[in-house]
Amino acid sequence: MSSSSSQSRHILTAPAWPYANGPRHIGHVSGFALPCDMFSRYQRMAGNQVLMVSGTDEHGTPIQVQADSEGVSPRELADRYNRVIAGDLQALGMSYDLFTRTTTRNHYAVVQEIFKGLYDNGYIFPKTTLGAISPSTGRTLPDRYIEGTCPICGYDGARGDQCDNCGNQLDPVDLINPRSRVNGEVPRFVETEHFMLDLPAFTDALGDYLRAKQGEWRPNVLKFSLNLLEDLQPRAISRDLDWGVPVPLEGWRDQPNKRLYVWFDAVVGYFSASVEWARRSGDPDAWRAWWQDPQALSYYFMGKDNIVFHSEIWPAMLLGYNGRGDKGGEPGSLGALNLPTEVVSSEFLTMEGRKFSSSRQVVIYVRDFLERYDVDALRYYIAVAGPENQDTDFTWQHFRERNNNELVAQWGNLVNRSLNMAAKEYGAIPEAGELTDADRALLERSRAAFDRVGGELGRSRFKNAVTEAFDVVREANGYLSAQEPWKTEDKTRKGTILHVALQVVDDAKTLLTPFLPKSSDKVHTMLGGEGVWAAMPEIREVDEEGGPSYPVVTGDYAVERARWEHRPIRPGTPLAKPKPLFAKLDASIVDEELARLEES
């Protein structure tokens, strides 16, 4: 086995937290989700102890604004989209150990613990700023109820905490011509206190951390992160807001209008979800193997708009909790926590030349996609043509071509014709006779692919990895065409050719499992394999000691038989006539999908 020389390690895999304000589209999941699942499935097959955790990000102004406009509570809105998103991610085959949410009591407690650790070490300080109150009621006017003109881009509908046009974070006092969304009055600004995270105190520690990643991280991610160090500013971590995690300090805890800023609580989610997973596993300390063992590794996956939170802010928070910034300090009560090993960021996917946009309906939601097409067709497309290193454009024409020319005509065809012939002529996997040079060359090529594909997957180079695996498939098809077993009268030779082809089918099924878990599982069964080859996630309803129930995505991946290794097939294993692995897509789907885009 190629990985037998390296010992089993604890690997945390952390896909970004989708925001619970709507269903996910394929642009989203091409960045944060599918690459993380491919990486995680490979690492489990290679014998490592993987913990994959995430959940829905449910606090913040946008959810409150949307809830207000629908006349529901933010909790009701979050409940709705938490369930929708969990369903989408489960349908994609995302092998989460735990996909939870940020509105759990566990998450609140862990966020407050991180806050306290940072505060006790002096990395959080209060600052007097100007906050808005309503002149007519005298009460605090939360950020979302203030709008005005963005001082940065001039957009007229900017909100008190953020401009949706240019994406910059704002303070209500920055807005030009601020007014209340409730009654149009001009808010009065009075002095109020908020908390700031002292990011400049981590400039040196973050610099040491990031410079050590030279040659390991994708160059664009590292360059972007190092550039941010040039000008780190203290960052507000509380807001005038009533939906979020309370500030855990005397005099603050019970203030209904002060909450931690959503970004502060969301990045803690990776850790709080690990703690929740441990408690649900029956060993409340089980998270420590992934967060405190110096040999443990952690990989965070996201779209490029989220790099700053993962390469700068979350590492700064961890450094501060550990007492490792300019002001020193002691680790918090849980002990020092590991920083990210790698921040793996994808670029953006566009759709038919346009930016994905839910509001302008340039979009294909995961659910709609999977109602019409095979999940493995999407996973394959994202692996081979996704936005790994540059922005890329999804087109229905390309999707159809990849599906038909590669999945159907190469992989599906290899599986189908080799199994079909063997089932028809032998009813079982035939014995191999004496091997020719051509037989040996193909078998060696296939075995050598484990190291090559595994090496690429271990470095999150999905396009190279899936292309290498498909090269084996193409060569096996070329081998069959050259050997022409259907013309061979010699039964021993024919059996040998089919044996060699089926061995490569078995190898390729393993090599393709991280990308195509569902179809690899089918091939495993077709080849007479027993049990579960690639486990699929499921949705379970859980609660917190009698609290409201909520769905989590989880799974029992220990039942998998998949190991990252060549496994000799067993002659005599009965074979049945195979069913097609993939469906060919008719040319009409392109026009149909484009018409759907135009309609909307």
Q: What are the backbone angles phi and psi of residue 21, rounded to the nearest 5°?
A: -120, 15
Minimum distance, C-beta of residue 168 to Zn ion, in the bound complex (Å) = 6
Residue 225, classed as helix, strand or coil, is helix
Part of the chain binding Zn ion (CB under 5 A), chosen from 75-83, 142-150, 282-290, 448-456: 142-150
How are strands ordered across the β-sheet holding 538-542?
Answer: 342-346, 297-303, 10-15, 49-56, 98-101, 550-554, 538-542
Closer residue to Zn ion in complex, CB, 65/442: 65
- Residue 45 sits at the vertex; the CA angle it makes with 41 and 51, to the nearest 5 degrees, is 55
* Contact criterion met (CB below 8 Å) for 141 and 133: yes
Minimum distance, C-beta of residue 156 to Zn ion, in the bound complex (Å) = 10
Minimum distance, C-beta of residue 195 to Zn ion, in the bound complex (Å) = 25
> What is the Cα–Cα distance from 224 to 145, expressed in whole angstroms?
34
Minimum distance, C-beta of residue 149 to Zn ion, in the bound complex (Å) = 9
- Quote the tokens at residue 393: 């454009």
Minimum distance, C-beta of residue 152 to Zn ion, in the bound complex (Å) = 5
Q: Which residue has the tokens 């566009």?
A: 350
Q: What share of the chain is helix, strand, coil (3-state, %, to 5)?
A: 45, 15, 35
Minimum distance, C-beta of residue 243 to Zn ion, in the bound complex (Å) = 23
Distances (CA, A) of 136 to 110, 140, 160, 175: 38, 11, 19, 20
> What is the Cα–Cα distance from 350 to 362, expressed in whole angstroms?
9
Give the residue ranges of the annotated binding site for Zn(2+): 150, 153, 163, 166
Closer residue to Zn ion in complex, CB, 152/590: 152
Distances (CA, A) of 208 to 165, 198, 306, 315: 35, 17, 21, 12
174 CB-near residues (< 8 Å, 6+ apart): 151
> What is the Cα–Cα distance from 358 to 94, expressed in whole angstroms?
23
> What is the Cα–Cα distance from 406 to 519, expressed in whole angstroms?
14
Minimum distance, C-beta of residue 65 to Zn ion, in the bound complex (Å) = 16
Closer residue to Zn ion in complex, CB, 51/170: 170
- Binding to Zn ion by CB under 5 A, coded x per residue (else -) over 143-182, reads -------x-xx-x-------x-xx----------------
Minimum distance, C-beta of residue 172 to Zn ion, in the bound complex (Å) = 14
Closer residue to Zn ion in complex, CB, 152/286: 152
* Contact criterion met (CB below 8 Å) for 456 and 388: no
Look at the alpha carbons of 114, 301, 102, 239 in this order and tell me if their dihedral is positive or negative: positive
Distances (CA, A) of 530 to 93, 509, 582, 588: 20, 15, 22, 39
DSSP 8-state secondary structure symbol assigned to residue 404 = I
Torsion-angle region of residue 251: left (phi > 0), alpha (psi -120 to 50) or beta?
Answer: left
Closer residue to Zn ion in complex, CB, 150/268: 150
Closer residue to Zn ion in complex, CB, 109/166: 166
* Contact criterion met (CB below 8 Å) for 346 and 30: yes
Closer residue to Zn ion in complex, CB, 165/395: 165
- Quote the tokens at residue 514: 């991280």
* Contact criterion met (CB below 8 Å) for 57 and 244: no
Minimum distance, C-beta of residue 154 to Zn ion, in the bound complex (Å) = 7
* Binding residues for Zn ion, total number by CB under 5 A: 7
Closer residue to Zn ion in complex, CB, 92/163: 163
Minimum distance, C-beta of residue 160 to Zn ion, in the bound complex (Å) = 13
Give the residue ranges of the annotated binding site for ATP: 358
Minimum distance, C-beta of residue 355 to Zn ion, in the bound complex (Å) = 17
Closer residue to Zn ion in complex, CB, 166/176: 166
Closer residue to Zn ion in complex, CB, 1/153: 153
552 CB-near residues (< 8 Å, 6+ apart): 86, 98, 99, 100, 539, 540, 542
258 CB-near residues (< 8 Å, 6+ apart): 194, 238, 239, 240, 241, 246, 247, 252
Amino acid at 342: E
Give the residue ranges of the annotated binding site: 150, 153, 163, 166, 358
Please give the radius of gyration of the chain, using alpha carbons only, rounded to the nearest integer: 27
Minimum distance, C-beta of residue 153 to Zn ion, in the bound complex (Å) = 3
Minimum distance, C-beta of residue 397 to Zn ion, in the bound complex (Å) = 36
* Contact criterion met (CB below 8 Å) for 479 and 501: yes
Closer residue to Zn ion in complex, CB, 163/523: 163
Helical axes 314-321 vs 262-281, angle rounded to 10°: 70
The residues with which 346 forms a beta bridge, in sequence order, are 303
Residue ranges binding Zn ion (CB under 5 A)? 150, 152-153, 155, 163, 165-166
